[in-house]
Structure 1
Amino acid sequence: MRQAHVARATKETDIAIELELDGTGCVDVSTGVGFFDHMLDAFGRHGLFDLKVQAKGDIQVDDHHTVEDCGIVLGQAFAQAIGDKKGIRRFGSSYVPMDETLVLAAVDFSGRGQAYYEVPVATQKVGTFDTELAKEFFIAFAREAGVTLHVRLICGENSHHIIEAAFKACGRALREACEDDPRVEGVPSTKGSL
């Protein structure tokens, strides 16, 4: 079973995440940040990951620490669950349309955690959610998961649609990259390691 249980507690947040890569999209999320809960739900359901996130943070300050730290812990969970990376597809990509919006996400389980997030939105808020926090989440996630992640807005106007399409596209791209490929022997790298 490719699964992980990761917890992290600081003076700002207390987060516990359970992840199963080969799940059915069963998601249970509670972070105290409503729009972010919705995004993590979309991420898990479209990635077909079984995902449980329990987070308490200093949201009386703002949502930044909670969102970024969830990215850290979820990235650590992916790194733990994927293990030695033997037999995986390694690369994955997905285009996700939502009405007027189209977003591309592409991922490589390279071991080199970096994110390239070019998803401009016109508004600073979706409800009470600071739209810039989506980028902070993906940067933290990619770094800790050890993946190279590209997220690009192809077209779109509605900020809710844009951010949601980004989370769905990332979930689907990760699902593809994590999948076992029966034709791959060992680690899918010309160097022999990732």
Structure 2
Amino acid sequence: MRKATITRKTKETAIEVAVDLDGTGVSQVATGIGFFDHMLDLLARHSRIDIKVKADGDLHVDYHHTVEDVGIALGQAVKQALGSMAGITRYASLYMPMDETLTRVAIDISGRPALVFKAEFPRDKIGEFDTELVREWFNAFAGNAGITLHVETLYGENSHHIAESCFKGLARALRAAVAIDPRAAGEVPSTKGQLGG
């Protein structure tokens, strides 16, 4: 029921995304970027949102366009799948440990996009993946999903662990926030009677 498909095509990328908010965490991801595929797989698995992503991008230039455009399309798909947002829990927050790393994530499915992202990576790259692209993806996703998202790594030493704790933290927060609250069935969780603006 809460499903969406988005197609995005530019001169730089061709993206196809599908989500099912009430899925089981199945992922079918192919972006051509191994580490990024791993992060999206974690996102699906731990959010229990079924995610399909097929991306053909100008990887000969760099990974930026592909990573950002997947964030845009996934954000749009989540927003579309949420529909009127009636009955959702809306808010969630948690701490996500990953070995020596600890990240705090808080989310408000508000219809008002905002991102606060505080994570410092000890290395510029994880394999061939530029660590600055983690923030780029989160910015694209939050902006297009219409969510308020705070991600802060409190401490950590390993760049892979820091990135993974950010994605897993988002996954678990999304899982809780998009869940239907049985005590508020059919109600939009806002005193305004609507979300956004």
TM-score higher than 0.5: yes
Question: Does structure 2 conserve the Cα–Cα contact (< 8 Å) formed by 1:46 and 1:171?
Answer: yes
Deviation at 1:190, TM superposition (A): 1.3
Deviation at 1:94, TM superposition (A): 2.3
Please state whether the residue corresponding to 1:133 is helix, strand or coil. helix
> Residues 68-95 of structure 1, C-alpha deviation per residue, up to 9 Å, x if partnerless?
0000000000000001000000011221
| Aligned counterparts, 1:13-92, within 5 A | 13-92=13-92
What amino acid does structure 1 have at the position aligned with 2:132? E
Paired residue for 1:103?
A: 103
Q: What is the count of residue pairs matched by the alignment?
A: 194
- TM-score normalised to structure 2 length: 0.97
Deviation at 1:154, TM superposition (A): 1.3
- TM-score normalised to structure 1 length: 0.98
| Aligned counterparts, 1:43-192, within 5 A | 43-185=43-185, 186-192=187-193
* Overall identity of the aligned pairs, in %: 56
**Distance in 2 separating the partners of 1:69 and 1:115:** 17
Please state whether the residue corresponding to 1:115 is helix, strand or coil. strand
Deviation at 1:182, TM superposition (A): 1.1
> Residues 19-72 of structure 1, C-alpha deviation per residue, up to 9 Å, x if partnerless?
000111111100011100000000110000111100010010000000000000
**Distance in 2 separating the partners of 1:43 and 1:60:** 26
Please state whether the residue corresponding to 1:86 is helix, strand or coil. coil
Q: Which runs of 5+ in 2 are unaligned?
A: none
**Distance in 2 separating the partners of 1:74 and 1:35:** 17
Question: Does structure 2 conserve the Cα–Cα contact (< 8 Å) formed by 1:94 and 1:170?
Answer: no
**Distance in 1 separating the partners of 2:50 and 2:104:** 23
Q: Which runs of 5+ in 1 are unaligned?
A: none
